[in-house]
Amino acid sequence: MNNTIFIIGIFSAVVSLIGTMVGAFIGVSIKNPTEKLLGTLLSIATGIIISIIFLELIPDSIEHIGFFKTLIVIVIGIAIIYLVDRMIKIANDSNQISATRINHTKVAILMALGLMMHNFPEGIIMGFGFVKGSGLGVKMSILISIHDIPEGIAIAAPLIAAGKKPFKILWYSFLVAFPTVIGAWLGIIMNNISTAFLGYSIAFASGIMIYVAFGQMLPESNELNKSYSNAMWIIIGIIFGFVMINLF
């Protein structure tokens, strides 16, 4: 059973890596991808994640540790990921002041460091999903993979401007996405401790996902796709997520 979980964890990590690599490949090949397309993909992924959080993860956590403990751990998860996000933004803002005086490679490195910190908890979320079973890990891997496509493009853009070769750009993108693999394995190991710990872990992951969905993905999708249709794509994502939860 442990070997099966380990193999599935590797699969989830590989799937999640694909998103960043696809984004980097798009950046290398197209260079100017359509923002509306990226916004639509993010909107659908946001809706699906919302469904999974509120219709599957949170109810499952309540079943293991109760309502109040679930609520407290969710708030803690949101607070921690918010503080991490703020520190990354403050660091980026401080470097933007002198952006005209540094080369594109340094900009790419700073961006990569921030994305690596972001990808690690994404991997933990996938690990939690696979330990829970019922295909949730596969769902989360696919969704996070979609979410990581714009990140791959964001990594590729300054490297392209710096004149890096396509192979090196793809390799750097892989390194940035690799913390997802470590996080996935860590999530699996942590959740094999006890059923109660699984409940706490799911609640913590829910807090992280709530912040990622509403604090990052939703604003980003609205920025990329400035249209009322964006809300409809989110609703479609929610419905699709509901179907996924009940069929798989």
Q: How do residues 142-174 score in pLDDT, each as one tens digit?
A: 777 777 777 777 677 667 766 677 888 888 888
Mean pLDDT of the chain: 76
* pLDDT > 70 in the chain, percent: 71
CA distance 198 to 181: 19
Report the pLDDT averaged over residues 218-222. Answer: 84
Better-scored residue on pLDDT, 167 or 104: 167
Q: Which residue has the tokens 């989110």?
A: 234
pLDDT of residue 100: 42
Is residue 245 predicted with pLDDT exceeding 80? Answer: no
The contacts of residue 140 (CB under 8 Å, 6+ apart) are: 12, 52, 125, 126, 129
Report the pLDDT averaged over residues 112-131. Answer: 70
pLDDT of residue 104: 55
pLDDT of residue 58: 92
User: Band of the pLDDT at 102, cuts 50, 70, 90?
Assistant: very low
pLDDT of residue 75: 96
The contacts of residue 21 (CB under 8 Å, 6+ apart) are: 152, 170, 173, 174, 177
Q: Is the pTM of this model over 0.75?
A: no
Closest CA to 13 of 99, 109, 136, 142: 142
Query: What letter does residue 133 receive in the DSSP assignment?
Result: -
Better-scored residue on pLDDT, 231 or 102: 231
215 half-sphere exposure, CB direction, 13 A CA radius: 16
Report the pLDDT averaged over residues 34-39. Answer: 76
- DSSP percent split of the chain into helix, strand, coil, nearest 5: 90, 0, 10
pLDDT of residue 90: 64
